[in-house]
């Protein structure tokens, strides 16, 4: 059996409000960073592989001003230091690996993924059988092609795949391909699903 994990809000928290509250000193900065960083099409271009992290950082400095340089750097390169890691999920993944489950990641993300694997997600990296990330294949969920990219890359049987994602449209796209998929609405649901698989 193959378990395919999304990244944000499945293996690691994605919470822009928490990131903004840690990086910004006041409401003015909060609103500015929310608009220019997190509501910008540049972030989508980053996940699509159209621009690099370096380009994003420099572009934001040009748009927002050099006085925000340090905070921009934090929001682009180090945002994961301000959110929760789902350690309880990793513990269950370890148990699933012992039962011969294969573990994969399918995520709309940038090359920051590799930094995550070398740092805060290093434990997950050690049990990961493979991954497909949007910036490298130039496709994004819910495009069906990105799911098939993972399936074909690792020669998986769709009938033996389970997919966990926090967004309904991504879950629905997986289901149309015949993948058993679960939408994660609360953190505890991830553990409940994985515990059911263990039993």
| Pair 55, 141 in one domain | no
Structural domain for 71, as ranges: 16-82
Q: 3-class secondary structure for the chain?
A: CEEEECCECCCECCCHHHHHHHHCCCHHHHHHHHHHHHCCHHHHHHHCCCCCHHHHHHHHHHHHCHHHHHHHHHHHHCHHHHCCECHHHHHHHHHHHHCCCEEEEEECCCCHHHHHHHCCCHHHHCCCCEEEEHHHHCCCCCCHHHHHHHHHHCCCCHHHEEEEECCHHHHHHHHHCCCEEEECCCHHHHHHHHHHHHC
| Pair 74, 147 in one domain | no
Mark which of 40, 56, 82 sits at the end of a domain. Answer: 82
pLDDT digits (tens, 9 = 90+) for 112-123: 999 999 998 999
- pLDDT of res. 161: 98
| Pair 45, 123 in one domain | no
> What average pLDDT does the structure give for the chain?
96
For the chain, list residues with pLDDT below 50.
none
| Pair 115, 193 in one domain | yes
| Pair 74, 139 in one domain | no
| Pair 103, 155 in one domain | yes
| Pair 77, 93 in one domain | no
């Amino acid at each position: 059996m193959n378990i395919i994990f999304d990244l944000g809000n499945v293996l690691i928290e994605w919470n822009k409000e928490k990131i903004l509250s840690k990086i910004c000193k006041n409401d003015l900065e909060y609103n500015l960073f929310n608009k220019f960083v997190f509501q910008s099409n540049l972030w989508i271009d980053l996940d699509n592989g159209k621009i690099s992290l370096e380009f994003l950082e420099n572009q934001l400095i040009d748009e927002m001003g050099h006085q925000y340089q340090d905070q921009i750097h934090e929001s682009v390169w180090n945002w994961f230091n301000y959110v929760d890691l789902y350690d309880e999920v990793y513990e269950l993944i370890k148990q699933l690996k012992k039962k011969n489950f294969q573990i994969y990641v399918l995520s709309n993300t940038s090359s920051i993924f590799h930094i995550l694997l070398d740092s805060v997600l290093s434990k997950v990296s050690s049990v990961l059988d493979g991954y497909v990330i949007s910036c490298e294949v130039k496709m994004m969920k819910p495009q069906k092609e990105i799911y098939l990219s993972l399936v074909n890359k690792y020669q998986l049987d769709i009938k033996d795949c389970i997919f966990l994602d926090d967004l309904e449209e991504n879950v629905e796209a997986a289901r149309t391909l015949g993948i058993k998929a679960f939408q994660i609405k609360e953190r505890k649901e991830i553990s409940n699903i994985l515990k059911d698989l263990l039993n």
